[in-house]
Amino acid sequence: MLRYALSSVATALTDFLVFYILTANGMQVLGANMSARAVALWIQFVLLKKYVFKSSGGWMLLAAYIAYVFFSGYVSSVMQEEFAEYVVNAPLLAKLVVEAVIWIFNFMFLRDIIFRSRSDT
């Protein structure tokens, strides 16, 4: 799980660095954010595939990973909204709690489903 945590930090740093560079050079926030996320998504995929889960796979693995990232992001958003409205009434606290739970779930799902060794099937 340490390699997963380190890859998450590297991904976040990549996201913020690319966003900063693009906005500092005049790109609008939306475009910079989407571009930074795309670069960070690719970096995280490579780190997870090669160093965290040491998995093989090509375009289908990438497609499954991207689909899962979008699905996980949607679930996280819905959970944050519900948690903030019905439990804590504090959006930032809701985000912190939900993201921590999602992060742990993501590790297990990515390890066991997306990047699983094909010899395990």
- Summarised one tens digit per residue, pLDDT across range 16-61 is 999 999 999 999 988 888 898 899 999 999 999 999 998 888 899 9
Residue 121: the pLDDT is 46
Between CA 75 and CA 112, with CA 67 as vertex, the angle to 5 degrees is 85
Domain boundaries, the chain: 1-52, 56-121
Q: Of 101, 119, 121, 116, which Cα lies nearest the Cα of 54? A: 116
